[in-house]
Structure 1
């Protein structure tokens, strides 16, 4: 998979059509996500720099700023980053190799990007490296139990889970051809594998949240870097 090229190719569609549908409350996948509420609930008010990994076009920066943080972002896709003008300072960088010193940040967030990152466990290790002791990390991602190539969400009142959840894999299979996944694909990890990646990175799981009705679309996790003794 080449996420940089994939998102370069769909940057205009993502900014104007996909995000436009989210803003109007009529998302193309049929389910509003309430991402700002989830982010506010888990990140909370604070101060200092908050890094968003895989920031895309920077649409979450305003919410981070409203909470008192100073947002900055990194992303692989030059096409997406060209649309961040005025939203936040950015750098084109690989989340597996962040251009940031050790133990330098009080907060990091990842918003709906972990399925775009085949090496997400390595990304979590980088998050732990750049966080200060006691620093907070908020992961907001598609729910591994109810979203993926194995999940048919064409009837939101009765999501059908087909075989495939237990297998870690990358796929472009999707119940809809109107969403991001049908265009760029996604890497799936079962819930235990995802949680173990946090623990292996040295992050302490602190709080959790789900959103989407009647079956969750989003699983969000608040974690913290171990405090040095």
Structure 2
């Protein structure tokens, strides 16, 4: 994705340092939903590999795939990586015990197709963990300038791609984002043949992230 190639250095050196105290509670949500285990865990859209340490702390071996060569240039020192498209993963069918999608589904306009690929590469009983921006409280329709009182304007029911954002210091005004209302997002998981096991939210006081654990039966 050339848009991420263009911001890769800014993302690594300017944006990420402000996220390292984990204000979105990605770490606790990941521990709750993925949990301890062993073997490889493929991270979809791994970007610069910033979540690799969290996966490794759970006893799992992180592997990354991303379409942006610029982001992978930073990630390669943090985990083994492949350049590839989430809609056609360069992974054998039924070969993985775990797959994680961490804060990237809004970068993937064809996320339902990506989820079908997740189901393909997971072994029976394999786990899929999604953690992403909360579709109900984040998006072009949500003004989060005051975290104590998020203002929700009309637009939640309107899926699509936009670069509109409440801040010019984030990622979305630079590369854009796809919004899917919550039912659409959940139905895409069911449509891929995955079965939900549990859910979690992160960020306070209004949740910024929504996560779930699903399995391949």
Structure 2: runs of 5+ lacking an equivalent: none
Q: CA deviation at 1:58?
A: 0.6
Q: SS in structure 2 opposite 1:106?
A: strand
User: Match for residue 191 of structure 2?
Assistant: 200
Equivalent pairs counted in the alignment come to 217
Q: CA deviation at 1:24?
A: 4.8
Aligned pair partner of 1:55 in 46, 62, 70: 46
What stretches of structure 1 move > 2 A for 4+ residues in a row? none
Q: CA deviation at 1:40?
A: 1.0
Q: Deviations over 1:155-187 (max 9, x none)?
A: 111111111100111100011010000110100
Structure 2 residue 68 is the aligned partner of structure 1 residue 77: yes
Q: SS in structure 2 opposite 1:135?
A: strand
Q: TM-score, normalised by structure 2?
A: 0.98
Distance in 2, Cα, partners of 1:13 & 1:78: 14
Aligned pair partner of 1:14 in 11, 14, 29: 11
Aligned pair partner of 1:189 in 177, 180, 187: 180
User: Match for residue 95 of structure 2?
Assistant: 104
Q: TM-score, normalised by structure 1?
A: 0.93
Q: SS in structure 2 opposite 1:109?
A: strand
User: Match for residue 128 of structure 1?
Assistant: 119
Distance in 2, Cα, partners of 1:223 & 1:51: 15
Distance in 1, Cα, partners of 2:191 & 2:207: 26
Q: Give the root-mean-square deviation of aligned CA atoms.
A: 0.8
Distance in 2, Cα, partners of 1:127 & 1:155: 36
User: Match for residue 5 of structure 1?
Assistant: 2
Q: CA deviation at 1:38?
A: 1.0
